[in-house]
Amino acid sequence: MSDDIEKSAAEWRAQLTPEQYRVCREQGTEPAFSGCYHDFKGQGVYRCVCCGEPLFRSSEKYDSGSGWPSFWQPLAPEALDEQTDLSHGMRRTEVRCRHCAAHLGHVFPDGPQPTGLRYCINSVALRFEPKSEG
């Protein structure tokens, strides 16, 4: 993409909180059940905390019991980039924002229909935008 966002580590550190930087730029994970969106029920759109790109809709969010916000599909497939993650002795599929390469979480093949997918996303990687009235 020609509009990809590239910033230095110093620029990202200046923009993000230490926890946002740790998770989004260093592939960290927030503790289960600690994020502000894991049990959040608001209606609207979840955006990337780093660049503001729309990633998920509340209408595709569900309670997976995992302790992280979970979605059965992204707002648009082209919003995300997937990469193999072999860390922690596991083989997982990492999910990143395609626009700025922020680490968001992982996707697993154990979600509900119609996709059968569970996008398990760190709350700290998201910014919620409420649905506008009218």
Strand partners, 81: 96
Distance separating alpha carbons of residues 45 and 30, to the nearest angstrom: 21
100 is catalytic: no
φ/ψ (deg, to 5) at 71: -135, 145
Q: What is the number of other CB atoms lying within 10 angstroms of the CB of residue 130?
A: 10
Per-residue CA distances from 49 to 15, 46, 100, 110, 129 (Å): 10, 9, 10, 26, 11
Q: What is the number of other CB atoms lying within 10 angstroms of the CB of residue 81?
A: 14
Of 24, 48, 50, 120, the catalytic one is: 120
Find, among 19, 29, 78, the residue nearest to 50 by Cα.
19
Just list the catalytic residues: 120
